[in-house]
Amino acid sequence: MLALILFLLVIFILMFGYPVAFTLSGVSIIFALICSLTGNFDLSILYALPNRIFGIITNETLIAIPMFIFMGIMLEKSKIAEKLLESMSALFGNIKGGLGISVIIVGALLAASTGIVGATVVTMGLLSLPTMLKKKYDVKVATGTILASGTLGQIIPPSIILILLGDVISSSYQEAQNMLGIFSQESVSVGDLFAGAIFPGLILVGFYIMYIIYLSNFRLDLIPENKERKSFNFKEIILSLFSPIFLILVVLGSIIFGVATPTEASSFGAIGATILAMINKKLNFCILKDVLIQASKITSMIFVLLIGATIFSLVFRGLEGDIFINNALSGLPGDVYTKLALVMFAIFLLGFILDFIEITYVVIPVVAPILLSMGIDPIWLGILIAINLQTSFLTPPFGFAIFYLKSVIPKNIDTVEIYKGVIPFIVIQIITITIIIIIPEITTWLPNKIFG
């Protein structure tokens, strides 16, 4: 029960807003010291920490993180999103709900070329919300659409969460095979998760667009009919699409066709984003310096968090928490799908109070090995968790995407209105998760086809 107390104590302290990395490491070490005084923890277990930290710093997969962060920030500075939104608004402006559809498509393209949720939500909020409100879109629909499309970066590759999840799922899969006594072990990579996430991401985009089309046809009080007819320049649209599609082909294409690993592809993306900024004449020394500083800050935050997470994991296992969770899940009634549903429901509830990184490094390493040892496909599980974690960006009261948007929108828009706006999109995400549970091939077919 000491492991459970540690787990609950960490979550309780995180709710007070203390930094995640230092909460994970500090609480774990203090708890370990107290338990050692009572004879319930062997401090020699902590001797493994230097090797674990060195393993994180030298992990080749995680090198992709600073590269993708650099790429996302560089794209934000190059004003590519502005041109793209203008072009898509012109292209879809003459159909019902066209502006909402264009916001979703732009969000998907930005997600597939940056993978950073915060930058996408802020950019879309600044660019599209004033236009949507001017076109008499209901505030709830406008903010909900922006938030949902902005968080597509969670599931559509190259997603930072998929890189982090890939590392956690890979370790959990190896641990599960050790538990089963399998010594000729299979592995799962970030590339597998990238490939597995493509169809679910497209399904989400399709459902979002269908929802906007439904509102524009049957709820004219929420999305009024657009009587203004726009002309558009086809050449300008092609040129605006070039930048994101170029990066998508460079990054995802190189991974899917086996030309490069995700780490190598991330460097292609960083160079490609820099070249695009130069072409758009949006690159100078000050911008480059700003991009490097921001990328370094975010990367440092993530790696310090990874170190904190490995300290928590080591202490948790030293208190036999993995055995406790294994016994608890094994003792639950029902088959493996029932246990999976309970875990997914618990992650969904935790999304109301914790952000995706906290859940990824506090909860997933605890439950994933047990589920994987029951025969669950690691790619399938990883994508289910990724979409589930996407809802944590939207669920009140601590949905981070809501705070990102709130920081750039007019003060007269009430937070409660934003909460109401995201509910339909959360329901859509839950429906998508249900479909993927019923049809696992949605996530496993493409990785098996590409990587065997």
Residue at 93 is within a domain: yes
pLDDT at residue 345, rounded to an integer: 87
Residue at 309 is within a domain: no
pTM of the model: 0.81
For residue 131, the one-letter residue type is: T
pLDDT at residue 406, rounded to an integer: 78
Q: 138 and 223 in contact (C-beta within 8 Å)? A: yes
Q: What is the mean pLDDT of residues 433-449?
A: 93
Domain that holds residue 279: 63-289+332-451
Residue at 1 is within a domain: no
User: Three-class SS string for 163-217?
Assistant: HHHHHHHHHHHHHHHHHCCCCCCCCCCHHHHHHHHHHHHHHHHHHHHHHHHHHHH
Q: What is the mean pLDDT of residues 50-65?
A: 82
CA distance 364 to 343: 10
Rg of the chain in Å (alpha carbons)? 22
Residue at 105 is within a domain: yes
Residue at 314 is within a domain: no
Residue at 215 is within a domain: yes
| Domains identified in the chain, total number | 1
| Average pLDDT for the chain | 84
Residue at 174 is within a domain: yes
Q: Which of 166-170, 411-415, 438-442 has the weakest average pLDDT?
A: 411-415
Residue at 12 is within a domain: no
Query: What's the pLDDT tens digit per position in 189-238?
Result: 888 898 899 999 999 999 999 999 999 988 888 888 776 666 667 777 78
Query: What's the pLDDT tens digit per position in 78-121?
Result: 777 777 777 787 777 778 888 899 889 888 888 777 666 666 78
For residue 449, the one-letter residue type is: K
Band the pLDDT of 63: cuts 50, 70, 90: confident
